[in-house]
Structure 1
Amino acid sequence: MTDLRSLKTLLAVVEYGSIHLAARALFVSHSTASRQIKTFEEHYGTTLFDRSASGVVPTGQGLALADFARRMIAESELLSDSFGNYSRASRPSLSSPAPGSARPSSPTPSTMS
């Protein structure tokens, strides 16, 4: 299962060219970021980054997964925004009764005998 945090880690590694720098930028440990990349590589059965002493460079497959990650993160943000808009639009206000319901009337002095 691919989660958004792992996709964000992948994008940070592509951007920074370093697992260490990506981990620092995301406030996760180096081992966590490295494990997330390794999990992707094992899941897809391919190398996503060429590693060297000077950093990492995405392979063609790594770039393809980065493009997918950008789209998934953007779609997730759109979905979150639409839920927020839906919630605000459909939430009944406290000053008016919900459609189809009558607000109970308060007792008046003439009806309290």
Structure 2
Amino acid sequence: MAQWIEACGAGDVDEEDVIRFDHGGRVYAIYRSPEDRYFATDGLCTHEQISLADGLVMDDIIECPKHNGRFNYQTGEAKGAPVCVNLRTYPVKVEDGAVFIEV
């Protein structure tokens, strides 16, 4: 059964940036777009399981810090080699200054 989990404060994620959130033995990545919208994906690269929170965010792309594979963090779509498996995405809502993800 899906549930909403508080991941962080809205101010914890800078615009056009990403942070790591661990919950229930899983790693998630929480993003804030240049348009001030929040997104969530699995937090590990599908290529070699490296934390995406250490990567570079540009517009709607997260670049893995190890081999520079790229994903669209809004859709999870793999956008650049060596990644070829999409990221799982999660619904996000912001309430009372907190960011929640549905897991």
Normalising by structure 1, we get a TM-score of 0.23
Could you say which structure has the larger radius of gyration? Answer: 1
Flag the structure with higher strand content.
Answer: 2
Flag the structure with higher helix content.
Answer: 1
